[in-house]
Amino acid sequence: MEYNPSIYIASSSNICRYALGVEGNNPLIVIGVNPSTADDKIPDRTMTKVMNHARILGFDGFIMFNLYPQRATCPDDLQEKPNMKFIEKNTEVIKLVFRKYAGKTILAAWGQTIMMRPYLIDCLKEIEDILSPFEPKWGHLGTLTLNGHPRHPSRTSYACRLIEFNIHRYIKKLSIGSLSELN
């Protein structure tokens, strides 16, 4: 699979990236935390890992979304308070693009970073809520982290298998603060 994105949706200022991917009949849909430097010309480390995982797992494309669309090479640089316009546009794009891929596999790929900003959990809940009518199949790579989060692709080996992920149980445990019971 070549890095030749057919989907690239970003803000005009390029502060936000909403979707990036190579369409196919059976693409791996990935939801990370936030975009870094990848664009429609040059992948970053995460996009390279996502593309290779998709190919190895037998998918014919990939589409990368994120819980929060603000570009930041370091998650510590994410805004302290969420920009609601960013979130609204992000969920709008995710719903619009995913509509074409109802029932497809979503790779949960946000890692421990979801805990860095309280609003990231709210973003996940909103995204899961808008995607639920499309009946996606959620998965994660390898084992969950020690704290029960799905691993970020850059923290996984290409030998990792795609394992079913119970997103409803995860969100419930996340909401009551008992993720350690997920392992």
**Which domains can be identified in the chain, with CATH numbers?**
7-182 (3.40.50)
Question: Which residue's entry shows tokens 């995607």?
Answer: 131
Beta bridge partners of 65: 31
The pTM (predicted TM-score) of the whole model is 0.94
Tell me the average pLDDT of the chain: 95
pLDDT digits (tens, 9 = 90+) for 134-157: 999 999 999 999 999 999 999 899
pLDDT digits (tens, 9 = 90+) for 70-98: 999 999 999 999 999 999 999 999 999 99
Contact 78, 110 (CB under 8 A): no
pLDDT digits (tens, 9 = 90+) for 42-76: 999 999 999 999 999 999 999 999 999 999 999 99
> For residue 123, which of 57, 170, 69 has the smallest C-alpha distance?
69
Q: What is the pLDDT of residue 183?
A: 45
Tokens (6 digits) for 151: 């691993």
> For residue 61, which of 88, 89, 100, 87 has the smallest C-alpha distance?
100
